[in-house]
Structure 1
Amino acid sequence: MQAAGILQARRRLASGTRAASVGARSRRGIMAAKTTLNAKNLETLGAPRLAELLIEISTGSADRKRRLRMELAGGQGSAEVVREVRKRLVSLGRARGRIGWRKVRTLKADLEMQRKTIVETVAQRDPSEAFDLVWQFLRLSDTILTRTADSNGTLMASFRQAIEDACGIALAAGLDADSLTPRVFAALQDNDHGQYDRMITTMAPALGADGLTALKLLVCEWLEEPPEKPASGGQVSVRGRRLAARTALQEIADAQGDVDSYIAHMPGEHRGAPMIATDIADRLLAAGRADEALEALDRVDVGGRIFVPIEWELARARTLEALERADEAQAFRWARFERSLSAEHLRAYLRRLPDFDDVEAEEKAFARARAFPDVHEALAFFLSWPAPAEAARLVEARSGKLDCDLYPLLSSAAESLGAIHPLAATILLRAMIDFTLEHARSSRYRHAARHLADCAALAPHIEDHGSLAPHDAYVAGLRLRHGRKHGFWSHVA
């Protein structure tokens, strides 16, 4: 009885402890919920305290101060916002210092704040004023891109987006062609950094038929202007002007749906290039002129080229289909697959076969890939298909032909095969390890050590090593041949 009483007391104590623990966790949860940074919790601080915190947080940060001023201006009406944006754009345009890569992110944030204010605030209240501002924003592009190391196109993206914004704002403002056309034309003449590429295509809805016609006349006059008196590089600038004008005329032709005009502005000597022929053929095909599309594609001397872009090949197959020459299209797809192991051609070929014929055709394609002269192209094909069993079979049969310096391909293949084909993955990993050590590629020692660890993890899953040495024997052989490569072994350790 005494023991039973003690047991009950212990249970009550444990229950009370658990309840206390649950209560403490609950209280901590409530406290955490109240201190979580969200709008609802911050509202409890009240406006005066929040204002003090904003002043404190913005001290020393020009960007945050500008954001606060913009918000304050928004409360005063559209005119104040316009004044703040215009003032900032003028300031950005007057700056002349070089903008290093470390400052690009800050400048990007500044530009995006101005652009979004124009689009989200000013354009909603006064589209005409917003268009003037967004165009002023675009005019900054030349001076900013000249001063900036923008190799990743971070800032360029803001200006390209601003062109799309300009079209939407122009439509909302109901601007006519007479006001838009001169601005677009001026931009095309000042496109040193490619920031206005595709501007005509983007602005076409706002320009309308009248604007496109007027713009075409201006560009034609610009194209026919006589060469300027040289100065240094004068001839280069003339060539650049002619290229820009022809590109603009082609964009106008596309916007007007005028295929013949597009082709007319393509220099004849370029039409035998595969990508240009493809470009022309696609437009002719879309216009229902498949015969002419095939003629454009056949201007390319395929036999004289080592490499033919797949875009040209796909366009030719599409064109043959449009001409109701399906058997020729299929034969062409198979021939191009046999030549390049293109998975895209093979998929298109198989999709058009009757039921069950595709299985036999796929096996025929795999046989072609297994015997393909370039084992790396074959491996890449099997991985992309995907056919991991075939990839493993290829590795085991032709490992001696692998170029172990092709680290990205072999590493990716080993990773893909490891879970279900550990022997093939081990062959690939060891091949890269051996290459790295035999050629003393010290920069790869860390990777080779990781590969060796992967081999150790795969070893228990290999049921039959065949002619491949077991893992312990392989490591012993490495120590015997490369024991002095301490850089490698330090990573292994």
Structure 2
Amino acid sequence: MAGKTSLSPESLIALGTDVLARLILEEAEGNPAFRKRVKAALAGTKGPAAVAALIDRRLAALERGRAMIAWEKERALAEDLAATLQTIRVDLAELDPAAAVQRLLRFIDSHASLFERIDDSSGRIQDVYWQAAEALPELVERMQPPDQAIVPDRLVVSLSKATHPYACQMAVAVVPLLSAPVLDGWDQTLARLVENDSILEVRQAIAVARQTLDLYLELEQRRPTWQQNPVRVAETLFAAGRLDDALAWVRREDGKSRCRVVAVGEDSLPSGRLHDVERIALETRILDARNERAAAQTLRWECFAATLYPQMLCDYLRKLEDFIEYDEQDRAFALAEDFRNPYGALDFFIGWPRLDRAAALVRSHRADWDGRHYSCLVPAAEALAEAHPLAATILYRALLADILARAKSPAYGHGARHLARLDALASDINDWDGLDPHDAYRLALRQSHGRKTGFWAQVAAQGAG
């Protein structure tokens, strides 16, 4: 039997130039993006000027474009843009990194006019521009230091043209790569411009790189209060060892909140600071660094008690002295069992995992589960099925009851699968603990929902009729 053929540089070289040339021509004939890559490689044999000229022609065409682009041409356009990007970041960058940076920035600047001409609802075009933005730091690193000095002025132009955050992301990413004198000049230039969020973002990145944190704080306070990011500021100050300032910022109640824990079944976004787990996690690290260990542990426990966020409990237990953690873990489990929201408690026990406690919780709340919370109940039922079939049955019945009660015909396929799981679980249950046995449940289901022919057709199709 012939061995499996694999593609590798060695196996392709073994084909010989004639065969490779024929294959390349065949592919280039029907693949415009590939054809552009081949032409760029050929231009590279003539030097960087030839590759740059090829790129410049494509960029000029992009910049001149005014006509709307039909949606069915979006995929081909994305492939064409990706080929142009590869020509810049591979073919030209290998020969002349400085020229590649100039073309890359020009390429990214084209997004503003292009997005006015196409509905990029799929995000394909945006993805190419994000890839381009992420490529800039690598190219800047490959430039000679004198050439790097031109990058800030060119990025200022990009910042002025941008309608999307590509330029700001690029500017922040290259700050650590530039010398102190270049950064000083860049900051002076930015300080003379009309201030906006992007300008502030870049100037703050420069301030961090130059270790001028007082300027960093001054710039943050120029933002409207609702735009300030206390957690990010606190992280920056903490990394710099300014613990008092970091603690003051992380405790600020205003500004953005980045990571609030919302349990399944909660009616609204929690407003309490203890639900902002990223903020609390940082505050506890700062307290530890200040040798305020007891305060840090108290805060971890309070956050866990409010959210049942598992990582907060892990952090709390890890900081305890030996042999105490088991008692504290039991205290945490008891707290979870009495949690105001049984879905949050179930999610916690399934994830920890403590399936025995999850099963007990399911049984004690057997009449309370609402199948609308399927994102919690389905994985819980799957996790419990093997060791705790009765608890899994309770959850699958709740899921199916919701689908049928609301006649959710698009979900009938899911409902049929839930019923099939109930059929399979029934043989594993000896004590139904007051629950209707499976045969009686099946009969009642048929009596109550016999007219839902779409559902029963799905059941029959799955062989569970």
Question: What's the TM-score, normalizing by structure 1?
Answer: 0.82
Measure, in 1, the Cα distance between the counterparts of 2:372 and 2:134.
45
* Counterpart residue number, 1:412: 379
User: Cα distance 1:128–1:337, how it changes in 2: closer, same or farther (>3 A)?
Assistant: closer
8 Å CA contact 1:142, 1:193 repeated in 2: yes
Measure, in 2, the Cα distance between the counterparts of 1:52 and 1:341.
63
8 Å CA contact 2:168, 2:198 repeated in 1: no
AA in 1 matched with 2:90 = E
* Counterpart residue number, 2:263: none
Is 2:33 the counterpart of 1:63? yes
AA in 2 matched with 1:215 = W
Deviation at 1:259, TM superposition (A): 2.0
Deviation at 1:57, TM superposition (A): 4.1
Is 2:369 the counterpart of 1:392? no
Calculate percent identity across the aligned residue pairs: 34
* Counterpart residue number, 2:192: 221
User: Cα distance 1:472–1:189, how it changes in 2: closer, same or farther (>3 A)?
Assistant: same
SS at structure 1 position matched to 2:303: helix
8 Å CA contact 2:190, 2:203 repeated in 1: yes
* Counterpart residue number, 1:279: 232
* Counterpart residue number, 2:179: 208
Q: Deviations over 1:99-133 (max 9, x none)?
A: 45554443333223222222322222223332332
Match of residue 435, structure 1, among 397, 402, 410: 402
Deviation at 1:309, TM superposition (A): 1.6
431-440 vs 157-166, greater mean Cα deviation? 157-166
AA in 2 matched with 1:188 = L
Measure, in 2, the Cα distance between the counterparts of 1:280 and 1:296.
7
* Counterpart residue number, 2:331: 364
* Counterpart residue number, 2:303: 336
8 Å CA contact 1:98, 1:147 repeated in 2: yes
Is 2:439 the counterpart of 1:472? yes
Measure, in 2, the Cα distance between the counterparts of 1:122 and 1:285.
41
Is 2:224 the counterpart of 1:253? no
Measure, in 1, the Cα distance between the counterparts of 2:271 and 2:38.
61
AA in 1 matched with 2:409 = S
* Counterpart residue number, 1:23: none
Deviation at 1:217, TM superposition (A): 1.4
Task: Select the structure of larger CA radius of gyration.
Answer: 1
Q: Deviations over 1:50-100 (max 9, x none)?
A: 544544444344223323323333344443333222222222333334345
AA in 2 matched with 1:144 = L
Higher helix fraction (1 or 2): 1
Measure, in 2, the Cα distance between the counterparts of 1:282 and 1:56.
55
* Counterpart residue number, 1:244: 198
Greater relative contact order structure (CA < 8 Å, 6+ sep): 2
Measure, in 1, the Cα distance between the counterparts of 2:173 and 2:142.
15
Is 2:290 the counterpart of 1:323? yes
Aligned residues: 444
AA in 2 matched with 1:244 = S
Q: Which runs of 5+ in 1 are unaligned?
A: 1-28, 224-240
Equivalent positions of 1:13-162 (< 5 A) are 29-30=1-2, 47-48=17-18, 51-99=21-69, 102-151=72-121, 153-162=123-132
339-348 vs 50-59, greater mean Cα deviation? 50-59
Measure, in 1, the Cα distance between the counterparts of 2:198 and 2:386.
54
116-125 vs 345-354, greater mean Cα deviation? 116-125
Is 2:237 the counterpart of 1:266? no
Measure, in 2, the Cα distance between the counterparts of 1:300 and 1:40.
61
Is 2:246 the counterpart of 1:293? yes
AA in 2 matched with 1:108 = A
Deviation at 1:418, TM superposition (A): 1.4
Measure, in 2, the Cα distance between the counterparts of 1:268 and 1:65.
50
8 Å CA contact 1:383, 1:391 repeated in 2: yes
399-408 vs 171-180, greater mean Cα deviation? 171-180
* Counterpart residue number, 1:191: 162
Question: What's the TM-score, normalizing by structure 2?
Answer: 0.86
8 Å CA contact 2:32, 2:80 repeated in 1: no
The root-mean-square deviation of aligned C-alpha atoms, in Å, is 2.8
AA in 2 matched with 1:193 = H
407-416 vs 63-72, greater mean Cα deviation? 63-72
8 Å CA contact 1:404, 1:410 repeated in 2: yes
Is 2:147 the counterpart of 1:180? no
User: Cα distance 1:58–1:161, how it changes in 2: closer, same or farther (>3 A)?
Assistant: closer
Measure, in 2, the Cα distance between the counterparts of 1:128 and 1:292.
41
Measure, in 2, the Cα distance between the counterparts of 1:128 and 1:206.
14
Deviation at 1:351, TM superposition (A): 0.4
